[in-house]
Amino acid sequence: MKRTRREFLKTGSMMAAGSLISPSIVSAENIIQTQTGGTLTKHELPKLPYAYDALEPYIDAKTMELHHSKHHQAYVTGLIKAEEELSKARAANDFALVQHWSRRAAFNGGGHFLHAMFWKVMAPNGKGGGGEPDGMLLDKIKEDFGDYKMFMENFSAAARDVEGGGWALLHYRRSDKRLIVLQVENQHKLSAWDTVPVLGIDVWEHAYYLKYQNQRAEYVKNWWNVVNWKQVADNLKAAM
């Protein structure tokens, strides 16, 4: 049983690495047996695929450093904690705090997943970042939004108008094979089911405030200069 699970996870992580879909969150080595029965994932902060200053001048180095090493790390730590507490609750058959820890798991798990994707769908301008999508990704955008400009304006508006902290996400919805744009509040609210995020922009203030202050629209406009369309296309292919 244990072996089967291990093999399954290994296969899963190889598929994730091969397809490059957003975060390679789980590998077999990161599965740990708990003292209380069952297993847990030892979640880890993924390395940035570029230097902190690589997205300058569109996103400044200090913001990237804090965002990755402090904010994203906090979501990883929070997710581990929430899952440990749920594991302990099962062992003790004491679910008095199940709502609290489930909520923490959703918030921090959402944060971990989305940030892991966020780093990957960006690249230094002119070195993988910026420009416009092409190939099958462009075809799919045209099919579902009319053209690239209409998609971009829809996505930008969604990002600008998120209430409070959140995200704009481009999802692939499996049930009708469409790309759709959604907003996310915090890291998880307003999520839809049967969808896979393939592109996202973080519009929490911590993502832009040092450089842009209250000018979120300016940040959103500049962010297009660092979008890694090749990665988005890979994410879409994996989701399809």
Q: From residue 86 to residue 125, what is the string marking binding to Mn ion with x (rule CB under 5 A)?
A: ----------------------------------------
Q: CA 82, CA 103: separation in Å to the nearest integer?
A: 9
Residues 6+ apart with CB under 8 A from 205: 165
**Closer residue to Mn ion (CB): 204 or 209:** 204
216, containing H or E segment: helix 216-223
If the CB atoms of residues 83 and 202 are measured against Mn ion, the closer one turns out to be 202
Is residue 209 a contact residue for Mn ion (CB under 5 A)?
A: no
Considering only residues 202, 208, 211, 231, which one is a binding residue for Mn ion as defined by CB under 5 A?
A: 202
Closest distance to Mn ion from the beta carbon of 91 (Å): 33
Q: Are 114 and 235 in contact (CB under 8 A)?
A: no
Strands, E assignment, the chain: 31-33, 39-41, 166-173, 178-185, 195-202
Kindly determine how many residues on this chain lie close enough to bind Mn ion according to the rule CB under 5 A: 2
As measured in angstroms, the least distance from the Cβ of 71 to Mn ion is: 5
CB-based closest residue to Mn ion? 202
> In the complex, what is the shortest distance from the CB of residue 97 to Mn ion, in angstroms, rounded to a whole number?
26
When the beta carbons of 128 and 165 are compared against Mn ion, the nearer one is: 165
**For residue 53, what are the CA distances in angstroms to 61, 209, 216?**
4, 16, 20
- Give the nearer residue to Mn ion in terms of CB position, either 204 or 224: 204
| Alpha-carbon span 176 to 81, nearest angstrom | 36
Near Mn ion by CB under 5 A: residue from 148, 204, 209, 224:
204
| Torsion over CA: 134, 136, 140, 142 (sign) | positive
Of 49-57, 127-135, 197-205, 216-224: span binding Mn ion (CB under 5 A): 197-205
Q: Is 172 helix (H, G, I), strand (E, B) or coil?
A: strand
Closest separation in Å from C-beta 30 to Mn ion:
22
Q: Please give the backbone phi and psi of residue 131, each rounded to the nearest 5 degrees, phi first.
A: 75, -155
| CB nearer Mn ion, residue 148 or residue 204 | 204
Q: With CB under 5 A as the contact rule, which of the stretches 36-44, 134-142, 151-159, 203-211 interacts with Mn ion? A: 203-211
Q: Based on CB atoms, which residue is closest to Mn ion, 105 or 137?
A: 105
Q: Which of 88, 66, 86, 112 is nearest to 207 (CA)?
A: 66
The binding site for Mn ion (CB under 5 A) comprises: 202, 204
